[in-house]
Structure 1
Amino acid sequence: MQDAYLYFENGLFLQAKAFGSGQTAVGEVVFNTSMTGYEEIITDPSYAGQFILFTMPEIGIVGANPEDMESRGIFCKGIIVRNYNEFYSNFRAKENLDNFLKSQDIMGITGVDTRLLTKTIRNNGSMMMIASTQISSPEELKNILKKSKKIQDINLIPEVSTPKTYTHTTSTFDFNTFQYGLPNTSKKIIAIDFGIKRNILNELTAVGLEVEVMPHHFEANSIIARFENGEIKGVFLSNGPGDPLMLKNEISQIKLLIEAKIPIFGICLGHQLLSIANGYETYKLKFGHHGGNHPVKNLITQSVEITSQNHNYSVPQEIEEIAEITHKNLFDGTIEGLKYKNAPIFSVQHHPEASPGPKESSNLFKQFADMI
């Protein structure tokens, strides 16, 4: 392995080892507390512009394979792990994690005290960092980092969104046959891709919806016309990376969809964009929610669901003026779900499709199908 050098916004400098693609990269570092599913996490487009710090100390033992990818590639800046396992033991694996990262030109960093880094982020908040296999000088790394844009100043959506419209043609993964099933669809919806995960599309088709996926630069009036003539029955707003307040054009288009009373379901970034479009701006959390073990209380059923999460922003409490709060995070009390009072719209902050993580909230896809 090559030597790697890490410099963080708070002045912390570390030496480590690198696997994957050797390079110099700048991004925001966040920690993920999931115990399994590193390939699905790494290929989640919502991590664009970020380094993923895994609290799980052993990473790599199940290798990597195309079936477990959540998007067309890797959009994160890199991953940081305590111990990297080059040898993999999984009959479904096609290659080790090192080769998988190299094929995507992504850096892996190992030999780091991830507990120390996690505590640092927990205490100080998410921060920018630079990692390099080419530059060892702390001062030079500091200068590059200082001149680099903060993640909240970068519009990451064009990088992760689909460049053209397409129809999703598979359903959920069958672990008996190790194949994706064919959907049995009856109602057509539009899914707006801000960095959509593949398993969200699988779950939508699994509940009987034909899904046409559109790029982030959609035109609301064309969707409204198709809704009014009965061709489509609803709109889904996907997850995605970055600060939602950056997406001025997308927010203006979502406002038109809301005014047209089109049934809408939003997840993660989609949830945040709906709040902003209704006049309630989001705010950034100290270190965000990233992992597959976050307890959320369903205020409708009074049950507690363990959820998969990946976001750095939250909607404000004041939104209860126009929406019923349906879900609440039991770690910090932040809003996890909303049902709007004057429109057929609901949204959640967590990820009911999991991949990886628990699927205790997956019935939300059926609720959307029932609503339309």
Structure 2
Amino acid sequence: MTLSPAVLVLEDGARYTGRAYGAQGRTLGEAVFATGMTGYQETITDPSYAGQIVLQTAPHIGNTGVNDEDQESSRIWVAGYVVRDPSRVVSNHRAKRSLDADLEAQGVIGISGIDTRAVTRHIRDAGAMRAGIFSGDEAALPAEEQLELVRRGPDMTGLNLSGQVSTTEAYTIPAEGERIGSVAVLDLGIKTATVRHLAARGLEVHVVPQSITTEELAELNPTAVFYSNGPGDPAASEYHVELLRDVLRKGIPFFGICFGNQLLGRALGFETYKLPFGHRGINQPVMDRSTGKVEITSHNHGFAVRAPLDGPVDTPAGFGRAEVSHVDLNDDVVEGLNCLDIPAFSVQYHPESAAGPHDSTYLFDRFVDLIKTAQAGGSAAAAEVSNSQTPNSQTPNDQTTNDQESN
């Protein structure tokens, strides 16, 4: 493990000196903290963390190494990685490599040996902000130059990252057991565990690029549509919102998670906004308002939907009535939406939660029930809910990435 100097620089001028961890050089991104005690491999390979420098609040990271089975995608996506005490040895029979070896091999720049709890408290008070890690020769740059580089870095507000993380080619995962239908999964940064959960419930899974057009989606003739998690500002993904509105008008059953929840909210006509420091980790308490049950859930989101908490409301975009189905018990953030007149619902968190907890996997069963109800004719009137214009067939790459509509 290298002992080369490194420094973490925040946008507001705060500086934390430590040691290089993983690759060396310079990296820029949004500094966020993740509160999970376990699951660091799932965290760094989650495409939702693209563009972010992730700080682990748990002090000891890396002791179980990394393996080839727990990857949530084909690569590490974090822009940078911050830990306090990296493990000096790997102690797990499933480990194939050490964490720092994987970081170095994939060019991911990190820093260790700083007080991550202190940085977390700072971000919690000041909010998520742009940051940079400078190590090796970059650590010797003047402090003023490092800070200027950080302040010129990209701001997550208005940023569209779907094209960076989505698959470029569609692929299909066959249904396990009795096939009940097919689901078109829009890959906005999907995790491997999500696909497994859908296939395990008898759904033939067609994972499609985020650039798919309305016509191409119609050619698949899916039984249902699913929007995945992903990074970026939902206000910069109007193309995906219009695509979803076409799905909703046709009465096709829909389920969205994380970024997909935000896009459903915008499709229904609600606003989205940026949280001060987001929800990230595997210990967020959420109440399912339909049952009163409190679930411990896995989160990774910096944006949220603004919708009334007090009962069903008419959706501003004309899709009938909707209600807030789940709410975060820490701060009353909307954690789920349920449509009452069309077959669609979503949650803000990760029910697949490969690193745990598993309180919310029932949501995949709820999706299957929704599909079966639709197949039985329970959503015949859904297509009559809205008669507004169909979306155009522009691709997401034609969009601006500087939409500042989000608060």
CA offsets 1:101-132 (integer angstroms, 9 cap, x no match) = 12221112100111110100110110110111
Q: Which residue number corresponds to residue 99 of structure 2?
A: 97
* Aligned equivalent of 2:199, options 196, 205, 210: 205
Distance 1:161-1:226 versus aligned 2 partners, 3 A rule? closer
1:275 counterpart letter in structure 2: G
Matches within 5 A, 1:207-222: 207-222=201-216
Deviates more, 1:19-28 or 1:130-139: 130-139
Alpha-carbon shift at residue 151 of structure 1 (Å): 2.1
Query: SS in structure 2 opposite 1:286?
Result: strand
CA offsets 1:72-129 (integer angstroms, 9 cap, x no match) = 1111111111100131101111000011112221112100111110100110110110
Q: Which residue number corresponds to residue 224 of structure 2?
A: 234
Alpha-carbon shift at residue 317 of structure 1 (Å): 2.2
- The 1-side partners of 2:27 and 2:34 are apart by 19
- The 2-side partners of 1:50 and 1:221 are apart by 34
Distance 1:140-1:39 versus aligned 2 partners, 3 A rule? same
Distance 1:280-1:75 versus aligned 2 partners, 3 A rule? same
Q: Which residue number corresponds to residue 129 of structure 1?
A: 131
Structure 2 unaligned regions, length at least 5:
316-321, 372-407
2:158–2:235 contact (8 Å) kept in structure 1: no
Alpha-carbon shift at residue 316 of structure 1 (Å): 0.6
Deviates more, 1:274-283 or 1:319-328: 319-328
* Aligned equivalent of 2:284, options 282, 285, 294: 294
- The 2-side partners of 1:252 and 1:302 are apart by 33
Matches within 5 A, 1:355-366: 355-366=354-365
- The 2-side partners of 1:12 and 1:152 are apart by 21
Q: Which residue number corresponds to residue 167 of structure 2?
A: 162
* Aligned equivalent of 1:62, options 61, 64, 72: 64
RMSD value, Cα = 1.5
Q: Which residue number corresponds to residue 177 of structure 1?
A: none
Alpha-carbon shift at residue 6 of structure 1 (Å): 1.8
- The 2-side partners of 1:287 and 1:169 are apart by 38
Q: Which residue number corresponds to residue 347 of structure 1?
A: 346
Give the share of equivalent positions with the same residue, in percent.
41
- The 1-side partners of 2:105 and 2:219 are apart by 42
Alpha-carbon shift at residue 149 of structure 1 (Å): 2.0
Q: Which residue number corresponds to residue 259 of structure 2?
A: 269
CA offsets 1:230-287 (integer angstroms, 9 cap, x no match) = xx21000000001111112222211111111110000000010011112112001110
Alpha-carbon shift at residue 318 of structure 1 (Å): 3.5
1:169–1:183 contact (8 Å) kept in structure 2: no
Alpha-carbon shift at residue 185 of structure 1 (Å): 3.6
Structure 1 unaligned regions, length at least 5:
171-181
Q: Which residue number corresponds to residue 179 of structure 1?
A: none
Question: 1:279 aligned to 2:269?
Answer: yes
- The 2-side partners of 1:363 and 1:127 are apart by 35
Alpha-carbon shift at residue 154 of structure 1 (Å): 2.9
Q: Which residue number corresponds to residue 28 of structure 1?
A: 30
Alpha-carbon shift at residue 169 of structure 1 (Å): 4.9
Q: Which residue number corresponds to residue 192 of structure 1?
A: 186
1:86–1:98 contact (8 Å) kept in structure 2: no
1:7–1:129 contact (8 Å) kept in structure 2: yes
1:185–1:205 contact (8 Å) kept in structure 2: no
CA offsets 1:181-205 (integer angstroms, 9 cap, x no match) = x665431110000000000111111
- The 2-side partners of 1:167 and 1:353 are apart by 19
